[in-house]
Amino acid sequence: MSVAVRNRMSYGRDQRLRQTLRIFFHGGYFSYRALFNWQSPRFYVPTMLAGPAFQVLFFAYLGRYSHVRDDAFYVVGNAVQVSGMSGVFGVAITVGGERWTQTLAPLLATPANRMALFLGRALPHIVNGFIVSAFGFAIGRLLLDFHPGLGTIPELAVVVLLSTTTCTAFGLVVGALGLRWRDVFTIANPAYFLMLLFCGVNIPLSALPKWMQVVGSGMPLTHGIAAARRVAHGASLSSVDGLIGKEALIGLCYFAAAYVLLRVFEAEGRRRATLELV
């Protein structure tokens, strides 16, 4: 193979990589702006800040009333879980919303790399989920008895970011199901509450029946919340590396499952003529 041919092939590969990265980053940014009202404070504050804040307060006060656990237990569990507002609902809308706006057909008529197209859409929701979680922690710090050491905050942030990412991967699976079933919320709503029950948010995993523990250990956030609780109590990241590793692995599995499901349901939609049903 001549040098000129090799150079041309290498240029072609670089060009494709650049295009894929642009779809991942720019596409994710545009789709977020295109499909969500949440850019406006009018929608963002009640949905992404007030709702999650009330959830943190509700369970913390319920915990105080029932004298089961301290505030920190509920603040960490709920502040991490509220990232699902963005990670589950937001990402689910990235597919369901395309049906409502009837843009799914023109979108799927493009030659865009599907992995970059759909996974890129998760990116703004990871950032948003992290902000929502951080706000939940801030509420706990300001209004409840939750006072982690300043030194723990960077490490806590790492665990929360990982958990938010895993939760978003789970949201992509829910969104992929939206390609198969028309109303994505019939899946997203139970999925959100499923996490509340199975992931050790308000009830320790060990207190759940065995089968629920098994389900919970395969859910997003379960290991992340456990790691975040220990880090908030002063444990180092290295001491919770097992939990972090499990959370990361589960996140990767959900990302892979989401990609496979999106491709399968896209192909099925073309076969069954269901892509444009609203």
Partner 1 sequence: MAAIEAENLRRTYKQTSGFLRRRTKTIEAVRGIDFAVDEGELFGLLGPNGAGKTTTIKMLVTLLIPTSGTARVLGSDVVDDARTVRRKIGYVFGGDRGAYERLSGLDNLRYFSELYGVPPKVQKQRIPELLELVGLTGRERERVEGYSRGMRQRLHIARGLLHDPPVIVLDEPTIGLDPVGARELRHTIAELARAGKTVLLTTHYMYEADALCDRIAVIAKGEIVATGTPAHLKSAVADRTVIEIEAYGAPEDAIRRLRDAPGVTSVAVEDREHAQLLLVQAPQGSVLTQQLLGHLDGVRVGRVTAREPTLEDAYVSLVTEN
Residues that bind partner 1 (CB under 8 A): 15, 18-19, 22-23, 26-27, 30-31, 33-37, 101-103, 105-112, 117, 270-273, 275-276
Which one, 214 or 260, has the nearer CB to partner 1?
260
CB-nearer residue toward partner 1: 107 or 215: 107
> CB-based burial of residue 192 (10 Å sphere; 0-12 exposed, 13-18 middle, 19+ buried)?
buried
Could you tell me the smallest distance in angstroms from the CB atom of residue 130 to partner 1? Answer: 23
The residues near 102 (Cβ < 8 Å, ≥ 6 apart) are 276, 278
Q: Cβ closer to partner 1: 52 or 90?
A: 90
Shortest Å distance, C-beta 273 to partner 1: 6
Q: Minimum CB separation from partner 1 for residue 125, in Å?
A: 17
Least distance from partner 1 to the Cβ atom of residue 152, Å: 39
Helical segments of 144-240, H only:
153-180, 185-198, 210-217, 222-232
C-beta of 98 vs 247, nearer to partner 1:
98
Q: What is the DSSP letter of 69?
A: S
* Closest CB 122 distance from partner 1, rounded Å: 17
Smallest distance from partner 1 to CB 232, Å: 38
Nearer to partner 1, 36 or 146 (CB): 36
Q: Where are the alpha helices (DSSP H) in 87-152?
A: 91-100, 104-108, 114-143
Q: For 68, phi and psi rounded to 5 degrees?
A: -95, -50
Residue 230, class by beta-carbon neighbours within 10 Å (0-12 exposed, 13-18 middle, 19+ buried)?
A: middle
Q: Minimum Å distance from CB 221 to partner 1?
A: 30
Of residues 89 and 170, the one with the C-beta less far from partner 1: 89
Maximum CA extent, the chain: 77
Nearer to partner 1, 36 or 89 (CB): 36
Mutual angle of helices 241-272 and 114-143, in 10-degree steps: 130
What whole-number distance in Å separates Cα of residue 81 and Cα of residue 56? 9
State how far the Cα of 233 lies from the Cα of 147, in Å rounded to an integer.
9
